[in-house]
Chain A
Amino acid sequence: MNATVFEHARIVDPSRGLDEIGTLIVEGRKIVAAGPDALNQGVPDGAVRVGCRGKTIIPGLVDGRVFIGEPGAEHRETIASASEAAAAGGVTSIVMMPDTDPVIDDVALVEFVLRTAKDTARINVFPAAAITKGLKGSELTEFGLLQEAGAVAFTDGRHSIASAQVMRRALTYARDFGATIVHETRDHDLAGSGVMNEGLFASWLGLSGIPREAETIPLVRDLMLAKLTRSTYHAAKISTGISADAVARAKQEGVKASAGVSINNLALNENDIGEYRTFFRLDPPLRSEDDRLSMVEALRNGTIDIIVSSHDPQDVDTKRLPFADAAAGAIGLETLLAVALRLYHSGEVPLIRLIEALSTAPARLFALPGGTLKPGAPADFALVDLEAPWIVREADIRSKSKNTCFEDARLQGKVLQSWVSGRKVFEL
């Protein structure tokens, strides 16, 4: 087996608190060593040597929230096209949402996704299964059988479960299988017909608003139920300061809770909507600058555990519409890392904390291999030039859908190579 040696790179491995110049050695599908002492045993015979001076090696990103159109809406995104986009963004593992057609609420669908991924994807694809049949919020799915088939978590995807009783039963039942319930909270009655953050800007635009409480009230309910049932709960995408406070309080009380944030709510605010730009219609909506800053602080202090792209491909048929009629969602796999690096370049969040939230923490949360450069771990990593400037061009987007919030944005930090299980799956 030929080894590859990446020399003189900045090695960032949050799983070991490591951020130093060193070497990464890959042999076969595994990492042999990574860090300043990696060459203590010398360079393996016949190894290919790659000079990486000025470059950084990070564990491949693990994106905990990715929507894909296969099966059912392959014109928007297939598992194959999503995996191309992911590889280009340094994302080596994704957790795929069950919002497909048919819904991933049955063992056969989990098997279909895993089989299709094996045949067509360059990266690791882990399906999450629905909590309720058909994402309808009433009847539980077969957690045990779905988990055995390969579902890594349970979530109703874009759908929020209105019934506290159903949520309680889901949490209770999930505990028996050691499964994590992942939930995007949204009170449908309170959100009403809202399409963006409630406030002055929405009022001037003449758009109905979604109050912050529409996210936080069901979140608080869920956190209380997680405490009652002693189950593991993950708030999929929080967007407000009051939600962050609720999560922090629950964690202090010992609730097995964690939280994620969409990269969009870390990088953008409601003003980016500008003149009704539908690519900025998101769920949860872009909030005020104060909320965005709360998200950054919650990420920095560990209240928020993971950053997700919430990659959600939408086509012209769902986006080229008046703002209020357009579908919510934006793609994000290719830009996830570079946009997150804005917080590093601005000095707001240390690099190692960012990479932890993008890779190590989600891998741990969903019990996935990867997210680390420890010896023996699968060789899932990215070689990155943290400083390289680039401009996001629609023509360069690999996703089938082009609904990015970052078109023509100037970003700093480019993925040069992505590796999955010791195989190079992307090179710039």
Chain B
Amino acid sequence: MSPPDIEFLLDRADEAVSISRQAEKKSAVLRGRTQINLFFEASTRTQSSFELAGKRLGADVMNMSVASSSVKKGETLIDTAMTLNAMRPDILIIRHQSAGAAALLAQKVGCSVVNAGDGAHEHPTQALLDALTIRRAKGRIGGLTIAICGDILHSRVARSNILLLNALGARVRVVAPSTLLPSGIADMSVEVCRTMAEGLKGVDVVMMLRLQRERMAGSFVPSVREYFRYYGLDAAKLASARPDALVMHPGPMNRGVEIASEIADGPQSVIQEQVEMGVAVRMAVMQALLDPRRNAEAL
């Protein structure tokens, strides 16, 4: 996405925030449209966020629970997609554990497809909601220094954020043990830092990533206590950042692993705002895809 496209979506999302804050939250922009949430991976936050976004825009929302679907009976991703496509939805929201799944689906169906996270590839609406949160708090993104810390290797959130924040002119740093950095990271337009003290020095935003439990016990990282000691965000490490630095986390958090509770709940934390911005950003994205009036305006 080009910077004007991103800014356009963020502006629409700003409007959606005000809708969501009204007592009457329902609009009719997408009335009569059908939205299917197809989540192959469990996700409380993203799935409910997309569901609410669709409902607030007036769409009919259907959640396909993969656990009880034909996928469990051995149906392939493409067959599932073709079946759903035959029901003529207007928009498919897909979350899948394999990188490239959303792109594959988009080739096979006739409606819009929104990637709600595909493996370790991308999570575009997360990056947009992070950008919106930052822009609302700081007034801008260009020129800010932003540190993304933790499990970069497995993180789709990190990849989407690196792309989007760079596109908007931010300076991006990544901080992680080398075992959690993908190869070639230094060529992803980021500054690679080995220690939190170095990586957080003077930053405007600290973005923490979740460390999956199965990666904590000796495979990528020896133990929780060692990880927290060197890479967990606590008051001492946060002190290297600017005093007004934002603390962000895409959730769900592991308190005491990547982030200390007093920081997650502290005054610099905008983790709850991120959740709120999530609904707004998803409203903006679906509106841009489905509302012809908006489309005409945008293009």
Contacts and interface: CB of A to CB of B under 8 A. Distances in A.
A175 B178 contact: yes
Contacts of A145: 225-226, 229
Interface stretch (A132-140, A180-188, A191-199): A132-140
A139 B218 contact: yes
A140 B229 CA distance: 16
Contacts of B2: none
Interface in B183-231: 194, 217-223, 225-226, 229-230
B225 A139 contact: no
Contacts of A141: 218, 222
B76 interface: no
B179 interface: yes
Contacts of A132: 218
B222 A143 contact: yes
Q: How large is the interface on A (under 10, 10 to 19, 20 to 34, 35 or more residues)?
A: 10 to 19
B177 A142 contact: no
A144 B217 CA distance: 15
Interface string B215-256: 001111111011001100000000000000000000000000
A171 B269 CA distance: 35
A140 B177 contact: no
Interface in A169-183: 169, 172-173, 175-176
Interface residues of B, number: 15
Interface string A268-287: 00000000000000000000
Interface in A100-147: 132-133, 138-145
A173 B225 contact: no
A229 B177 CA distance: 13
Given A173-B179, A176-B177, A142 B223 contact: yes
Contact of B222 (A142, A175, A229): A142
> Chain A's interface: helix, strand, loop or mixed, by majority?
helix
Given A142-B226, A144-B226, A144-B230, A176 B178 contact: yes
Contacts of A144: 226, 229-230
Contacts of A172: 178-179
Contacts of B194: 176
A139 B222 contact: yes
Interface in A154-175: 169, 172-173, 175
Given A172-B179, A175-B178, A142 B219 contact: no
Given A145-B229, A176-B194, A140 B178 contact: no
Contacts of B218: 132-133, 138-141
A16 to B, nearest CB: 34
Interface string A290-314: 0000000000000000000000000
A139 B217 contact: yes
Contacts of B179: 169, 172-173
Interface string A400-419: 00000000000000000000
A154 B179 CA distance: 17
Nearest to B218: A139
A345 to B, nearest CB: 47
B76 to A, nearest CB: 30
From B217, B223, B225, residue with most partner A Cβ within 10 Å? B223
A141 B225 CA distance: 11
Contacts of A175: 178
Among the interface residues B178, B194, B219, which one has the most CB atoms of the partner chain A within 10 A? B178
Contacts of A133: 218, 222
A16 B222 CA distance: 40
Going nearest first, the 5 A-B pairs with the smallest beta carbon separation are: A139-B218, A142-B226, A140-B222, A142-B222, A172-B178
Given A139-B218, A142-B225, A144-B229, 4 more contacts: A145-B226, A169-B179, A169-B220, A229-B178
19 contacts: A133-B218, A133-B222, A138-B218, A139-B217, A140-B221, A140-B222, A142-B222, A142-B225, A144-B226, A144-B230, A145-B226, A169-B219, A169-B220, A172-B178, A173-B221, A175-B178, A176-B178, A176-B194, A229-B178
